[in-house]
């Protein structure tokens, strides 16, 4: 799965949402949570590892799970936890 990390915080460019073929990046700008979440998140159960989102992000916030920089490894769980219970 792909993971959104710290550089997204406060940026939320959302270009990644537009290129994802399975709409697994949330919240998108038309969802109410978009106003209150500090970043966007990738649903690990729905991501098909296509890689389209990674180059679309202007701040290089997206990495394949195994390539997440050491200091941002915690974001693997942070992304997954956003979808827990949904």
Binding region for ligand F3S (CB under 6 A)? 4, 8, 11-16, 40, 56-57, 59, 61-62
Given ligand F3S, ligand SF4, none, residue 76, with its beta carbon under 5 to 8 Å by kind, binds none
Minimum Å gap between C-beta 71 and ligand F3S is 17
Given ligand F3S, ligand SF4, none, residue 11, with its beta carbon under 5 to 8 Å by kind, binds ligand F3S
Query: What are the residues whose beta carbons fall under 8 Å from the beta carbon of 67, sequence distance 6 or more?
Result: none
Given ligand SF4, ligand F3S, none, residue 9, with its beta carbon under 5 to 8 Å by kind, binds none
């Amino acid at each position: 799965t792909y993971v959104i990390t710290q550089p997204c915080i406060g940026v939320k460019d959302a270009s990644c949402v537009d290129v994802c073929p399975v709409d697994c990046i949330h919240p998108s700008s038309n969802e109410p949570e978009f106003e209150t979440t500090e970043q966007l998140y990738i649903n690990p159960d729905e991501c098909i590892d296509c890689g389209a989102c990674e180059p679309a992000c202007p701040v290089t916030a997206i990495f394949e799970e195994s390539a997440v920089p050491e200091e941002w490894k915690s974001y693997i769980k942070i992304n997954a936890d956003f979808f827990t219970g949904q």
